[in-house]
Amino acid sequence: MGRIRSDALRMGLACGLTWIASAAPAAARHYATPEFSRAESRPKTLAVLPPRAEFVKAKVVMSEEMVKECEALEAAALDRIGVLLQEKGYTVRPLPPGTVNADPDLRELIFRVNERYEEEWQRFVRKPGRIREGRYNLGEDPVEIADHLGVDGILVPRVVAVAPSKGVKTLSIILGGYAQGYVRLDLSVVSGETGDLEAFYFTTVTAGMKGLTKNPDRIMEKAAGSALRRYPEVNETLPYEESTEGRETAEEEVDEEEVLEELEVLLGPEEEKENKE
Amino acid sequence: MESRTAIRIRRLAVPLLPVLFSLASPALGEGMYEPVPLKDHERHLLTSSNEYEEKFERWGLRYHDPEVDALVARIGRSLQPEPTDAYIRYRFFLIRDPLPNAFALPDGQVYVHTGMVAWLDNEAQLAGLLGHEINHAAGHHGILSFRNVRRTAITGMILGPYTLGLSDIFLILALLGYSRDLEEEADLRALEPALAAGYDLREVPELFDLLARDFEGIQPRRSTKWLTHPQLEDRSRYLRERIDGWPGGIEFSSLRTEAGAYQRLTRPLAHLTVDDLIRSDYPRSATVLAQRLVDRDLADPSGHLALGDAFLALGPGEAYAPEATLTKREKKERQRERVRSTREEREAAMLETEEGRATLARHMAAAAEAYREALDLDGALAEARRGLGYALLRLGDEREAARSLMQYLKMRPEAPDRAAVLDELRRISQDLREGQKGDQDGKNPE
């Protein structure tokens, strides 16, 4: 490797180490559609999908993923999110992995939603401001889940936990900073009527290795509390500017039988064609 | 194409990958096929590897089909060597992911994507794949690569730069590749056990020919210098050379491929993969795979249904054409576009051109034909009725679309997409009403 590339690599590595190990806790943020803020499209009954957590112990030479410990974080996240939303007046149906895996149809639907979520996440995390435009949609599967469970919407939680080792902390002090462990919690609210991403709440809170491994409940209480601090109460409407163009407003409820009967009349009888098909 | 599993791992590792590639030695040398005792700091990493089995299950990523599970396990067991260490225990799992991939962890877990199983033609190809993965575990490639990267990283640290952490080194190495030498070693060492198990080795290079096809046009060819795997064409070549030059020659007439049984057993999984490819926004791949299903069994209505669904998903996008070649720049641009724009935005952009609209009409006609074929074979196939309705809608034939969709609802009163279908019917009803009103006012003479 040439000298120039080597120097650039050193700089990049030093910056990267500082970044990954010294992440300061950021304030919670959220993005929502105007309709969500006005409680027009905000689901009142929510199914919380099984959270997915990734937990990394950042070391100087090699990090390691704490695979087993993820399970405790996921369970704690699911519990705290459910409790906090219920306190705000929502009807919440948390879905632990055991419940999902016992229902093959539900398991299938959640698999599909997670796949589509990963795809859309790559887009909306780059341009979260465009969530306000109702730009992102997760397809029909959230609608099917909502129908299957009898809810208005679904909430997709994601957790990333990074805990620096003592070696990383020492090095970061040498670099002039202080490495902090942290947990980032992402909560995405998806409409059970349209599959639209209606709101995205996220936060980053500090967390040490001890807390993450010995007391995940307390850490997730802190993270969920921060992420949902500005989540509106169930009937609360928030002031918002006029919605941008291009977003369809909710249709009025129409009688299903009425629609079908009217079409029968409009189409007229065509027995021959039906038999052919 | 990158599998979803790899995407999940890359979220944490992407900024760090250049570190891995730049620090890891590209020429590691041979694996070790005798016992390799673990060092203290490696034991915990191996424990983490063990825990992936449960994590994949908890996340709903494991695919369960008793017959296919048994097939993969049977072939794997016929190829696996006696474990050299207590920490290696070979077991074989399917991961639900539509993109063709497979990986092995140092403790002997071998994962094969459903997308890989769907694309293979026969047991012999699967044997070549499993043999390759087994050799990564048997040769301790993960542990050796880890030691090499760690050693280089520590050396680098002493000399100046500080290294970055990597999220689960074993999983990253497994998914994204060991050194080219170790990959080549795994390819070549897979041949002998496959031959001993009675498989036709000529099928193994075919596997790489298959993987080399870039249906979506989003895999730019990278310089070999930066690759952890040898180029796919090179892998086909050196495998064929090894087979052609086999000491003592090979009597192929006595060897088997087991194509018929394999395709029969894996057909439902292939259908699922078509669906998954469509959902993951890989409609070109879905169309090619669905066409294979139809070609293999013209009398199966579900093959025609899958083809209809694939064409419907393709919309105004171009179909895969083997003769069409995209430049590296064009492929990279396509990759970027997939992240920059949503599916709806890309489709809307294509429909602004006459070419896009003509392509849409062509694909919807192909979809309608496939659905009709399915219904000719099985009139009770409700999903084909729905698909036909949507294809006709996009062709502008609202009346016939409405008939199909209404029949679908009659056949499936509890359809999970009932609300969405009713929405469409309501819109059609409104259009027809306005059309009739226009006729009555004399404004829209036919």
The tens digit of pLDDT for each residue in A141-183 reads 999 999 999 999 999 999 999 888 777 777 777 777 767 889 9
Distance CA B111, CA B14 (A): 22
Across the interface, of A59, A147, A270, the residue whose CB is closest to B416 is A147
pLDDT at position B177 is: 63
For residue A90, the one-letter residue type is Y
How far from B323 is each of B213, B260, B288, B363, B376, CA to CA, in Å?
Answer: 11, 29, 14, 19, 33
pLDDT at position B379 is: 95
On chain B, the residues whose CB falls within 8 A of the CB of A137 are: 342, 344
- DSSP conformational letter for A32: E
Share of chain A above pLDDT 70, in %: 80
pLDDT at position A200 is: 97
Q: Which of B162, B166, B95 is nearest to B133 (CA)?
A: B95
By mean pLDDT, which of A132-136, B156-160, B183-187, B274-278 is the weakest? B156-160
pLDDT band with cut points at 50, 70 and 90 for residue B26: very low
Would you say residue A111 has pLDDT above 70?
yes
Would you say residue B27 has pLDDT above 50?
no
- Is B339 in Cβ contact with A61 (below 8 Å)? no
Q: What is the mean pLDDT of residues B354-379?
A: 97
pLDDT band with cut points at 50, 70 and 90 for residue B217: confident
| A233 shares contact with chain B (CB less than 8 Å) | no
pLDDT at position A4 is: 39
Q: What is the mean pLDDT of residues A180-200?
A: 94
Residue of B49, B59, B372 to mutate for A, most A C-beta atoms under 10 A: B59
Of the two residues B334 and A250, the one the predictor is more confident about is B334
Of the two residues B164 and B117, the one the predictor is more confident about is B117
Q: What is the mean pLDDT of residues A100-118?
A: 94
Domain ranges of chain A: 7-276
Distance CA B242, CA B260 (A): 27
pLDDT at position B224 is: 53
pLDDT band with cut points at 50, 70 and 90 for residue B88: very high
Would you say residue B312 has pLDDT above 80?
yes
B291 to chain A nearest CA, in Å? 23
pLDDT at position A254 is: 58
| B421 in Cβ contact with B409 (< 8 Å) | yes
B369 to chain A nearest CA, in Å? 11
Cβ neighbours for A96, distance < 8 A, ≥ 6 positions apart: A50, A75, A78
By mean pLDDT, which of A110-124, B409-423, B427-441 is the weakest? B427-441
On chain B, the residues whose CB falls within 8 A of the CB of A114 are: 59-60
| A273 shares contact with chain B (CB less than 8 Å) | yes
- Two structure tokens written together for A165: 């080792």
Would you say residue A59 has pLDDT above 60?
yes
Q: Which of A248, A101, A8, A199 is nearest to B56 (CA)?
A: A101
Of the two residues B113 and A5, the one the predictor is more confident about is B113
- Is B16 in Cβ contact with A17 (below 8 Å)? no
Roughly what angle, to the nearest 10 degrees, separates helices B4-13 and B169-176?
130
Q: What is the mean pLDDT of residues B187-207?
A: 93
How far from B429 is each of B385, B389, B423, B433, CA to CA, in Å?
Answer: 19, 14, 10, 6
Q: What is the mean pLDDT of residues B227-255?
A: 86
pLDDT band with cut points at 50, 70 and 90 for residue B172: low
Across the interface, of A115, A123, A259, the residue whose CB is closest to B422 is A259
For residue B445, the one-letter residue type is P
- Is A20 in Cβ contact with B59 (below 8 Å)? no
- Is B55 in Cβ contact with A67 (below 8 Å)? yes
pLDDT at position A63 is: 67
| A120 shares contact with chain B (CB less than 8 Å) | yes
Q: State the first-to-last Cα distance of chain B, in angstroms, to the nearest integer.
A: 49
pLDDT at position B153 is: 64
Q: What is the mean pLDDT of residues B315-326?
A: 82
- Is A136 in Cβ contact with B60 (below 8 Å)? no
Q: Which of B303, B279, B276, B295 is nearest to B117 (CA)?
A: B276
Distance CA B418, CA B53 (A): 37
pLDDT at position B181 is: 81
pLDDT band with cut points at 50, 70 and 90 for residue A60: low
Counting Cα atoms < 13 Å in the Cβ hemisphere of B383 gives: 14
By mean pLDDT, which of A259-268, B128-137, B194-203, B370-379 is the weakest? A259-268
| B382 in Cβ contact with B374 (< 8 Å) | no
Across the interface, of B51, B340, B418, the residue whose CB is closest to A68 is B51
Q: What is the mean pLDDT of residues A3-11?
A: 48
By mean pLDDT, which of A74-78, B122-126, B203-207, B416-420 is the weakest? B416-420
| A62 shares contact with chain B (CB less than 8 Å) | yes
pLDDT at position A262 is: 86
| A17 shares contact with chain B (CB less than 8 Å) | yes
Q: What is the mean pLDDT of residues A241-253?
A: 48
A107 to chain B nearest CA, in Å? 7
Task: Please tell me whether residue A47 adopts helix, strand or coil conformation.
Answer: strand
pLDDT band with cut points at 50, 70 and 90 for residue A61: low
pLDDT at position A22 is: 46
Q: Which of B167, B213, B198 is nearest to B79 (CA)?
A: B198
The alpha-carbon radius of gyration of chain B (Å, integer) is 25
Would you say residue A220 has pLDDT above 50?
yes
pLDDT at position B5 is: 57
| B153 in Cβ contact with B169 (< 8 Å) | no
Task: Return mean pLDDT, chain A.
Answer: 83
Residues 190-219 in A contacting B (C-alpha not used; CB under 8 Å)? 193
pLDDT at position B148 is: 77
- Is B157 in Cβ contact with A61 (below 8 Å)? yes
| A166 in Cβ contact with A186 (< 8 Å) | no
pLDDT at position A263 is: 87
Cβ neighbours for B354, distance < 8 A, ≥ 6 positions apart: none
Distance CA B396, CA B32 (A): 64
Across the interface, of B58, B165, B419, the residue whose CB is closest to A62 is B165
Q: What is the mean pLDDT of residues B52-79?
A: 94
Q: Which of A180, A159, A158 is nearest to A168 (CA)?
A: A180
On chain A, the residues whose CB falls within 8 A of the CB of B55 are: 67, 70-71
A214 to chain B nearest CA, in Å? 18
Q: What is the mean pLDDT of residues B328-351?
A: 90
- Is A61 in Cβ contact with B154 (below 8 Å)? yes
Q: What backbone torsions phi and psi does residue B255 show, to the nearest 5 degrees?
A: -95, 160
| B220 in Cβ contact with B331 (< 8 Å) | yes
Would you say residue B323 has pLDDT above 70?
no
Of the two residues A130 and A266, the one the predictor is more confident about is A130
Distance CA B319, CA B316 (A): 9
CB crowding B228-240: b at 16 or more within 10 Å, else e: bbbbbebbbebbb
Distance CA B261, CA B263 (A): 6
Task: Return mean pLDDT, chain B.
Answer: 85
Distance CA A91, CA A154 (A): 11
Q: What is the mean pLDDT of residues B205-227?
A: 73
On chain A, the residues whose CB falls within 8 A of the CB of B19 are: 9, 13, 16
- With CA atoms as reference, the chain B residue closest to A164 would be B165
Exposed / middle / buried, residue B322 (Cβ in 10 Å: 0-12, 13-18, 19+):
exposed
pLDDT band with cut points at 50, 70 and 90 for residue B170: low
Cβ neighbours for A153, distance < 8 A, ≥ 6 positions apart: A42, A43, A45, A46, A47, A142, A146, A189, A190, A191, A192, A193, A198
| A202 in Cβ contact with A27 (< 8 Å) | no
Residue of A126, A267, A271, A274 to mutate for B, most B C-beta atoms under 10 A: A267
Across the interface, of A101, A136, A266, the residue whose CB is closest to B433 is A266
Residue of A19, A63, A122 to mutate for B, most B C-beta atoms under 10 A: A63
DSSP B312-373: HHHTTSPPP-TT----HHHHHHHHHHHHHS-HHHHHHHHHTSHHHHHHHHHHHHHHHHHHHH
pLDDT band with cut points at 50, 70 and 90 for residue A14: very low
How far from B191 is each of B79, B180, B200, B417, CA to CA, in Å?
Answer: 10, 18, 10, 49
Across the interface, of A9, A137, A270, the residue whose CB is closest to B22 is A9
On chain A, the residues whose CB falls within 8 A of the CB of B155 are: none
Across the interface, of B22, B146, B425, the residue whose CB is closest to A1 is B22
Would you say residue B94 has pLDDT above 90?
yes
Residue of B21, B64, B65, B167 to mutate for A, most A C-beta atoms under 10 A: B167
Of the two residues B66 and B218, the one the predictor is more confident about is B66
- Is B146 in Cβ contact with A62 (below 8 Å)? yes
- Is A1 in Cβ contact with B52 (below 8 Å)? no
On chain B, the residues whose CB falls within 8 A of the CB of A140 are: 417, 420
Would you say residue B249 has pLDDT above 70?
yes
| A230 in Cβ contact with A30 (< 8 Å) | yes
pLDDT band with cut points at 50, 70 and 90 for residue B174: low
Would you say residue B66 has pLDDT above 60?
yes
Would you say residue B232 has pLDDT above 70?
yes
Of the two residues A11 and A131, the one the predictor is more confident about is A131
